[in-house]
Structure 1
Amino acid sequence: MPSDFLPDALGRRGRSSGAQPRNLLWVVCVIGALAAFVLTTYVIHTQLAGASLWGVLVAPEPGNLHQLIVYDSTLPRVAMTLICGAALALAGAVSQQVLRNPLAEPMTLGIFPGAYLALTVAALWAPAWLAAYREPVALVGGGLAMLVVFALAWRQRLASLAVILSGMIVSLYCGSLSLALAISHFQLLSGLMIWGGGALDQQGWHASAALLIRLVVAAAAVLLLRRPLGLFDAGESTARGLGVSLMRTRFAALCIAVALTACVVSAVGVIGFVGLAAPTLARLAGARRFHQRLVWAPILGALLLWVTDEVVQVVALSGVVGSQLIPTGAVTSLLGAPILLWLLRQLKSRPDLRADAPTAIASSRRERPLRLIGALALLTVFASVASLTFGRGLDGWHFVDFAQIRALSFWHGPHLAAALVAGTMLGLAGTLIQRMAGNPIASPDLIGVSSGGALGIVVAVFAFAAPGPLQLFLACLAGAVGTLGVLLWFGRRAMYAPERLLLIGVAIGALFQAVNGTVMASGDPRAALLLNFVVGSTYYVQPPAVAAAVVIALAGLVGAPLLARWLELLSLGDGTSRSLGVRVSVARLIVLLLAALLTATSTLLIGPLSFVGLMAPHLARTLGFCRARGQLLTSAIIGALLMVLADWTGRMVMFPNEMPAGLMAALIGGPYLLWAIVRAPSPVR
């Protein structure tokens, strides 16, 4: 990967004329500090209600409630905000430096989701530990998640792309486990959901003082590593030639990032995007060298979180949202997603995903593909029949007779059809996207199309009093198409490069998570219903929606094979495709439109949380289906089979309660994806 993975976009014109790029660090910091100071002054003035600010700073009166609130809550909150922003920015700067990738930050490396999952488990089964040892619990969770990422990327010698992709999958899986626990223990975890959204409320100075000490210790450790870390700017080969142990340096640096992130999570919850945006802003504003970013990234991170938190408090004081809580972490992601998308346009040099992406692709082609396709289709039919006839009841496991099947057909029929159709569409969409991008780790889950569709449904649920199936479908399609528009707009400059699509997917996925976290923390009664949809429950699927999905799935089965030639050539790269007469931009546009339509429809049925779109093409290629038509058909059948199994398992595993099919597919598919990365061949050196 080129050492300068983010250009100096702000000074591009000056560079072309021979002048040095402008340094805007002081300007950005002064503007941010003034904005935060003005907002803080307004908040404190409102809270004091005429009381003396000087008295608060010198000696607050014991009986003056307004002064006590400012002294014990507002001012410690400002301090905590600055410390958390600086800590996350430092963790992000170190991660991006050693991995040489702008995607690297605590969220994408699995640290945040791992720490939050550990806290969720402790809240349910060891509440005493959570009360007494919150920070060690978060540290263990984040550390274990990072160790899993290290283990997955170890055979690739902790290559930056391998670490990033492993972290993304670990993040998705930990998030799926947390949602599974939230569904089964919604009332017990409601408080943790509010806190997990990034709650900066303080009751005294002890928490901020303790976190400041940890930040100073971590900063001292980074200072000791500044020389080997700085050599990464010259490229990995140069750093290795100068005697730097890449694996040891990466391991030590990422351990520091884990420790910092776990401390922040245990103190205030999950706050995303600061670790991603602050180092990038520092580089774009003029911090070219690593030692400069070590200083300016924490400053910008502290200012970014300070401004965001003050905006949250001003909105809360205005009464626009009533008495509902607004988690600062969710708002940070809401503001950070557009920032990331803007920064994306400044991205000049990029990692080559085609060459380094871990794969589990069979090297030999299937000699008799029709026989295996027929066997898979029969297996899907058998699984469908078994899901209707065998299961658990009040008397334990048993087979259901024909009369019972007929009596419950009005309920089981749409559910089974939804699982079959959704799996078929996800298998097709995953193959289309992987072929188009030439990257076997691309899928609707990772490029944000499914998250965009789910975001559209969230808007519809709160915009309409009682949205019907047609309204939900149109909202989901609008969200997916809107995401597609963003993909096309930002990806056109780089000819829809796969890494550009992944970056956009991270931004849109984080935006959806922020909206979802805000809803969960608001206390709105529709939050529980929305949670069931988000995780992919077929319980609420209506026959009209299934009928529309069947039509779209059949259209996909007919239309996708017609694009087989394009798919074969697009996976070979832009130059080869053009030389063989393919209009790359037109071909990718049509493929993305079809994939978006299939993804939006499947999202309406089972929600956005499903690894089927990533697993089915992998399994098809592992079985030897390397040609586009064979892989499309096989992926569709495998996707249908996986979703039927996930739907049946979800109904049986927690009987009489139901685990949503989409979530079960993620829980089942996660271990396979981890295994696929582990067995990927190590690079030749």
Structure 2
Amino acid sequence: MNFKTVIALLLAAGVAVALWGAAAWQLLPSGWPALSFDPDAMNLQQILLAFGLMPRGVIALVAGAALGLSGALLQAVLRNPVADPTTLGISSGAQLALVMATIFAPGLLEHGRWPVALAGAGMATAIVMGIGARRAFAPVTMVIAGMLVGMTTSAIATAITLARGEYLLSLVIWNGGSLVQQDWSGVRSLALVLVIGGVGALLLARPLRVLSLGAAGASALGMNVANIRLAVIALAVLLAGSVSAELGLIGFVGLAAPALARSLGARTMGQVLLIAPLIGALILSVCDGIVLTLAGATGEMFPTGALTGLIGGPLLIWLLPRLRGSTPPGTETAEGIAPRLERPARLLAGLLVIALLLTVLLVWIGRVPQGWAVLDWDSFRAFLPLRLPRIVAAAAVGALLAMAGAILQRLTANPLASPEVLGVSGGATIGYVVTLFTVATPGLGVQTFGTMVGGALALVLVATFARRRDMPAERVLLAGIAVSAMAAAFLSAVMATGSTQSWQVLAWLSGSSSVVGFGQAIALAALAVLVLIGARMTRRWLQILPLGPEVGSGLGLPLDKARIGLIALAGIATGAATVLVGPVSFVGLMAPHVSRRIGFARAQDHVAGSALIGALLMIAADFGARMAGFPYELPLGLFASLLGAPWLIWLMMRMKR
């Protein structure tokens, strides 16, 4: 440990102590409590200090160290500088398991949250590792798989939370990563896990040094690479899952700590495994100190995990140029040669007819207290003005998201691109929230405009970052995922305030078409038609861009103009759709793939087919949201995510090296 590292750690420790001391100072007039911590001999302020603030300060250090060690282990075993419990979906898996157990099977929590959280984290990790094994654990593929699985589980957990109002406030605060403590039990539990993790890391340090030579070199030296990987990953899951069980979702500490350790001069495996937990402890302690300081100044208590997420997004973007082992996550040839329809117009017409028939059918049937029923003619006429607008709006939103996904996949030449993955939905989310907080009484038009601007700006940010560094397409996906992570952290902070706007955001996150009027539905449908026309007008750009910038320049394509125009088109489509369906649905990922596999090869046919398939998917999701929980309506985003998650996992599992 060099002098610069020692000075940096001491300065960070000084900041953490100063921030915690400032929070404690407000409780000091009553004097320090006796070390016996007998509540009967204390006043209220001493109890708050001894059983609230003090264990909170200690658990921040213990949890930060556990996350830092978990991230260091994952980065070492996978040889991936952007691996951590957040980017690999471990924390989100624990989150989903705990949310589902709390709501659907509370009996599982009788013995504590830890077994459930570790089971969820283990299942998410198994999915990510299964995908990664098919691609030789390529760094970019691992992170994309992990963060997509994480986004899926987080979306489902959020939708389930919103569907059960009685658990809403507690789960929202927990999901944000709250360090609030009521006694020392959490400190003791996490400290024991940290000791186990430290001993395990000490035993695994030498095998990890050998594994740093590469899997082939380690195998040649007689190491059982699979067993070592399994042991290290299991230890990392234990550390991260335990923190999630005790405190909730705290992101990116495991990413930042090892990265900062290396930047401060840690070179050997032992140095990284030693310094990363120290840095992790200081990062979380400083973040929590900032939260306490803001709470004392404003009266608002933000979840500490939201602040770490705001730090992690920019850090991930900063680390992207340093990422090695770039392996494209998938190509059309990896999925097999896609068919090509000779007469796509016939199938497009058929899909349009199916969408129209499905619309009429879903208006005609429904559920009543006695069960399923087919409406008579008079009831059909009565329900038509109520059901038709929401079905038209759902279809328009599905078409908009699908067209945005098709445009982005052709723009980046990457089949995993979608509005959710490239950060467009995240930027649209920020635009929506900023509009709510800056405009006194924003109408739907103002909200839509702010959301579209946010989505377009996010995509411009990602595209500018990638263009200046001449980064390959899969790195662009990671930059977009980083923007999505920042948006998620921003949302967590906003929702934890409990303000009027935060409840509006919560209602919007659920995604519902029930409040859409006929005029709004027509406006969304008209916008979908305009985007389709715009995509047809730019069909030459969409046909040439997947061939690469060199081919495009050779054919006289105005690359900058084409990229900016397509970015604006995708941003407008995503922003308008996000106002209705919320930030995550994966329709923009699924529909273009289905369209391509059906045989819509030409750009204009690909976009049109994606639009019709996206419309069908969202019509089905809207019907499920209305009928599955009758007489209560469930979140539209939940059903869209449930449709998207199996497709996402299947798609990633099909990819081969």
Q: In the alignment, which residue of structure 2 is the partner of 1:251?
A: 230
Distance (Å, rounded) in 2 between the aligned partners of 1:548 and 1:27: 60
* Structure 2: distance between partners of 1:354 and 1:140: 27
Alignment check: 8 A CA contact 1:115 1:140 kept = yes
Sort the Cα spacing of 1:387 and 1:167 in 2 relative to 1 into closer, same or farther, 3 A.
Answer: same
Letter in 2 for 1:522: T
Contact preservation (8 Å) 2:179, 2:304: yes
**Would the aligned equivalents of 2:71 and 2:85 in 1 still touch at CA under 8 Å?**
yes
- For residues 565-576 of structure 1, what are the structure 2 equivalents within 5 Å? 565-576=540-551
Q: Distance in 1 between matches of 2:246 and 2:447?
A: 38
* Equivalence for 2:592: 617
- AA at the equivalent of 1:410: P
Q: TM-score, normalised by structure 1?
A: 0.89
Residue of structure 1 in register with 2:632 after alignment: 657
Task: Tell which deviates more after alignment, 26-35 or 400-409.
Answer: 400-409
CA contact (8 A) 2:65 2:276 kept: yes
Asked if residue 335 in structure 1 is aligned to residue 311 in structure 2, the reply is yes
Determine the C-alpha separation between the residues in 1 that align with 2:499 and 2:574. 28
SS of equivalent to 1:367: coil
Please report how far the alpha carbon of residue 271 of structure 1 lies from its aligned counterpart in structure 2 after TM superposition: 0.6
With over 3 angstroms needed to count, the CA separation of the structure-2 counterparts of 1:325 and 1:546, relative to structure 1, is same
Counterpart in 2 of 1:491?
466
AA of the residue aligned to 1:654: G
The whole-number CA distance in structure 1 between the counterparts of 2:293 and 2:146 is: 35
User: Where do residues 5-24 of structure 1 align in structure 2 (5 Å cutoff)?
Assistant: 24=4
1:56–1:68 Cα contact (<8 Å) kept: no
Q: Are residue 450 (structure 1) and residue 430 (structure 2) matched?
A: no
Partner residue, 1:325? 301
- 1:646 deviates by 1.0
1:107 is paired with a residue whose SS is coil
Change (3 A) 1:504 1:157: closer
Percent of residue pairs bearing the same amino acid type: 38
**Bigger Cα displacement from structure 2, 124-133 vs 382-391:** 124-133
Equivalent-residue separation in structure 2 for 1:589 and 1:232 (angstroms):
44
C-alpha displacement of 1:193 = 2.5
The alpha carbon displacement at 1:155 in A equals 3.6
> What is the alpha-carbon distance in structure 2 between the residues aligned to residue 674 and residue 460 of structure 1?
34
Show the 5 A alignment for 1:51-130. Answer: 51-52=31-32, 62-130=41-109
- State the Cα deviation string for residues 46-101 of structure 1 (Å, max 9, x = none): 22126258x66999993344344333322221211011111111111222233333
| Separation (CA, whole Å) in 2 of partners of 1:469 and 1:64 | 52
Q: CA-to-partner distance for each residue in 1:91-115, whole Å, 9 max, x for gaps?
A: 1122223333344221222211221
Structure 1 residues 237, 545: closer, same or farther in 2, change over 3 A? Answer: farther
Distance 1:561 1:100, change over 3 A: farther
Equivalent residue for 1:549, pick from 519, 524, 543 = 524
Q: Give the Cα–Cα distance (whole angstroms) in 2 for the partners of residues 329 and 74 of structure 1.
A: 17
Task: Give the corresponding residue for 2:196.
Answer: 217
Cα 1:229–1:589 change in 2 (3 A) is: farther
8 Å Cα contact 1:423-1:641 kept in structure 2: yes
**Structure 2 residue 608 is matched with structure 1 residue 608:** no
Partner SS state of residue 225, structure 1: helix
Q: Give, in angstroms, the shift of residue 491 of structure 1.
A: 2.0
| Change in 2 beyond 3 A, CA 1:239/1:270 | same
Deviation at 1:288, TM superposition (A): 3.9
**Partner-residue secondary structure (3-state), 2:372:** strand
Given the superposition, is the C-alpha separation of residues 76 and 356 from structure 1 closer, same or farther in structure 2, using an over 3 Å criterion? farther
Q: Does 1:635 align with 2:610?
A: yes
* Structure 1 pair 639–630 and aligned structure 2 pair: CA distance change class (3 A): same
Structure 1: runs of 5 or more not aligned = 1-21
Encode CA deviations 1:284-343: one digit per residue, 9 max, x unaligned.
Answer: 33334433321222221111111110111111122x1x3x43211112213333444445
What runs of 5+ residues in structure 2 fail to find an aligned partner?
A: none
Q: Give the Cα–Cα distance (whole angstroms) in 2 for the partners of residues 114 and 594 of structure 1.
A: 34
Does structure 2 conserve the Cα–Cα contact (< 8 Å) formed by 1:357 and 1:440?
yes
Q: 1:433-480, CA deviations, whole angstroms, 9 ceiling, x for partnerless residues?
A: 111111111111111111211222123334444321111012212211
Q: 1:578 to 1:231 in 2, by over 3 A?
A: farther
Q: Residues 359 and 677 of structure 1 are in contact (CA less than 8 Å); yes or no, is this contact kept in structure 2?
A: no
Residues 393-412 of structure 1 mapped to structure 2, 5 A cutoff: 393-412=368-387
Partner residue, 2:143: 164
- Alpha carbons of structure 1 residues 542 and 482: separation in structure 2 relative to 1, 3 Å: farther
Q: Map Cα deviations across residues 543-598 of structure 1 (whole Å, 9 max, x no partner).
A: 44434333332221112133333333322333343344334444322222211111
For residues 277-676 of structure 1, the aligned pairs below 5 Å read: 277-318=256-297, 320=298, 322=299, 324-344=300-320, 347=322, 349=324, 351-353=326-328, 360=335, 362-495=337-470, 497-524=472-499, 527-676=502-651
Q: In the alignment, is residue 32 of structure 1 matched against residue 12 of structure 2?
A: yes
Q: 1:507 to 1:47 in 2, by over 3 A?
A: farther
Q: Is the 8 A contact 1:418 1:538 kept in 2?
A: yes
Residues 476 and 166 (structure 1), Cα distance of their counterparts in 2 relative to 1, 3 Å cut: same
**Match for 1:147 among 107, 126, 142?**
126
The CA distance in 1 between the partners of 2:420 and 2:210, in whole Å, is 35
Cα distance, 1:643 vs. partner?
Answer: 0.9
Cα 1:451–1:545 change in 2 (3 A) is: farther
Q: Do the aligned residues in 1 keep the contact of 2:423 with 2:480 (CA within 8 Å)?
A: yes
Q: Which residue is equivalent to 1:16? A: none
Instruction: Give the length in aligned residue pairs.
Output: 656
Which amino acid in 2 is paired with 1:381?
A: L
Task: Report the secondary structure of 2:125's partner residue.
Answer: helix
Cα deviation for residue 535 of structure 1 reads 2.9
Greater CA deviation, 539-548 or 593-602? 539-548
Work out the CA distance in 2 between the residues paired with 1:220 and 1:668: 43
Which segment drifts farther, 88-97 or 201-210? 201-210
Q: CA contact under 8 A between 1:87 and 1:298: conserved in structure 2?
A: yes
Provide closer, same or farther for how the CA distance between residues 458 and 67 of structure 1 changes in structure 2, counting only shifts above 3 A: same
- Work out whether residues 95 and 249 of structure 2, in 8 Å CA contact, stay in contact via their aligned partners in 1: yes
Of the structure 1 ranges 434-443 and 251-260, higher mean CA displacement relative to structure 2 is found in: 251-260
1:43 aligns with 2:23: yes
Cα separation, 2, equivalents of 1:240 and 1:430: 42
Distance in 1, matches of 2:555 and 2:244, equals: 52
Is 1:108–1:171's contact at 8 Å kept on the other side of the alignment? yes
| Residues 66, 239 of structure 1: alpha-carbon distance in 2 compared, 3 angstrom cutoff | same
Matched-pair contact (CA < 8 Å) for 1:454–1:534: no
CA distance in 1, matches of 2:372, 2:65: 56
Using a 3 Å threshold, how does the CA distance of structure 1 residues 39 and 494 change in structure 2: closer, same or farther?
same
Aligned AA for 1:134?
R
Q: Are the equivalent residues in 2 in contact too, given 1:361–1:621 (CA < 8 A)?
A: no
Q: Which residue of 2 aligns with 1:191?
A: 170
Secondary structure of the corresponding residue to residue 29 of structure 1: helix
| Alpha-carbon offset, residue 642 of structure 1 | 0.8
Deviation at residue 408 of structure 1 after TM alignment: 3.0
Cα displacement (A) at 1:509: 1.7
Contact 2:393 2:522 in 1 (8 A): no
Secondary structure in 2 matching 1:49? helix
Q: CA shift at 1:250, angstroms?
A: 2.9
